[in-house]
Structure 1
């Protein structure tokens, strides 16, 4: 299959979407932002904007006419509309659908808590697989990135509070986890669209690197020359509090403790193993240095 040139993106103004849009434009792709009618988000020059009513099949169908690929950066509850978008993509002869994954590997969640919370994503995977079997021109690619590293440092999601020099360490802090910088993810997306046969009907796992919280802390202190205060906590205890928040419908305060409970707890064993990093092993994108991202983060805080 030739390079997929015309790319439609749902969620193009989000944290990861805007980084991918920038990389696609720089790589010569034609980019269309699929935007809710009520949205006032703006986009870089060269991005075409089409309004889409997410619960309308006809709206998706019209918006996807002439597009080669759809990338979804939608977040819950909007991910519920991905199957509708995929059905419309078939009618509009779209060749590739990249659903909203961009985090933990959802193919191994099973009957865990996150298996329930993210069931809409696994249902979409199954739906896309069926559509691919039924339509020879159509395929899909799922991309697991692990935690977002540079974004996570800036937004406290990795447990590092730069303002107060406090590191919240889960259990021992020695558990290594899969993580990617947003620009690294964007380069992977460009390669997937530029060489679509490599990833047709596949779920791939990628990472800038594996790292632990203790390793991050050591780099932070070495680069900054400052000692940080440790605030250790037990994952199991944080989980109980988060689950109660979830029962109250407080998803915002429950999400990161639950996420850390899956990925950072001692013995989680979810770091990518040798041969599992599609970005470095197949696409030959070089693994990145965590020190570079940490230096950039520390310099921005000065």
Structure 2
């Protein structure tokens, strides 16, 4: 296996919330030749210097042809497209790609309780598949765990509802959890690609800061002086029980899988506060409390 920094990088999912940030980081670093894989029907424009390969994501030969000559593959495909990754990985093996970074970018799925949740079954399957391939091919892999996205999580109501002044505090809201901004994850991807030896065939964990839901809510309430917030306490164990029952009865609703994600993020049993991180080797500095206040303020102003 080569341990030199990778230069030719293929990126799948480059138009998504995270994928676009990863693309920006890789492209603007000037360290890589980036090729984005897009659907044949795509009319998306990309920055000058970024190569575009239109592919059929359901065709092994189409994907392998696009990946020929690439040294690494980064997948930022959305959760609903995780099933596409197996064929993408097979194509990478066929094309001789050396490193794969699959679409993880969330909770620590080395934690056995998190791995057991049905919402992560597809990701766990991909992890196991990569482990098997690494033992018998030139493929190596890196799993990146970064906790929930701080900035987009605030924007999308993961921690509370800014606009309606509503908050659900999960399991009391006191548990510190490791969170990362999208840009931090983009930087982690870049550093993995320039540090192949240190990151081969393993999981790496990064974070911007450990913060509790209550701390975030207090910062939000400071920005809305005199306004009353509707705060409710929610037991994530109950969310899990209800979700598993819905899955058992084939009565899956719009919140079924999301509630399992909430369980994994906010319950202390799921390893969501990273004790051992790889920030140093990946050149990532944790943010300060003042930085956190500014991030929450930016999310508030955008509402």
Instruction: Give TM-score, length-normalised by structure 2.
Output: 0.88
State the shift of 1:101 in Å. 0.6
Q: Look up the match of 1:156.
A: 157
State the shift of 1:225 in Å. 4.1
Distance 1:252 1:33, change over 3 A: farther
Distance 2:172 2:182 in 1: 27
State the shift of 1:89 in Å. 1.3
- In structure 2, stretches of 5+ residues that fail to align are none
Distance 1:132 1:113 in 2: 23
State the shift of 1:162 in Å. 1.2
| Residue 63 (structure 1) aligned with residue 66 (structure 2) | yes
* RMSD, aligned CA: 2.3
Q: Look up the match of 1:210.
A: 210
Q: Look up the match of 1:288.
A: 287
- In structure 1, stretches of 5+ residues that fail to align are none
Partner secondary structure for residue 163 of structure 1: coil
Of residues 45, 48, 70, the one that matches 1:45 is 48
Q: Look up the match of 1:8.
A: 10
Aligned residues: 295
Distance 1:166 1:111 in 2: 27
Asked whether the 8 Å contact 1:224–1:298 carries over to 2, the reply is: no
Partner secondary structure for residue 74 of structure 2: strand
Instruction: Give TM-score, length-normalised by structure 1.
Output: 0.88
Distance 2:82 2:188 in 1: 22
Partner secondary structure for residue 49 of structure 1: strand
| Residue 72 (structure 1) aligned with residue 75 (structure 2) | yes
Distance 2:108 2:219 in 1: 27
Of residues 265, 268, 293, the one that matches 2:267 is 265
Distance 1:203 1:210 in 2: 19
State the shift of 1:173 in Å. 0.8
Asked whether the 8 Å contact 2:192–2:199 carries over to 1, the reply is: yes
State the shift of 1:84 in Å. 2.2
CA offset digits 1:5-38 (Å, max 9, x no partner):
1211111111100011111111012221111224
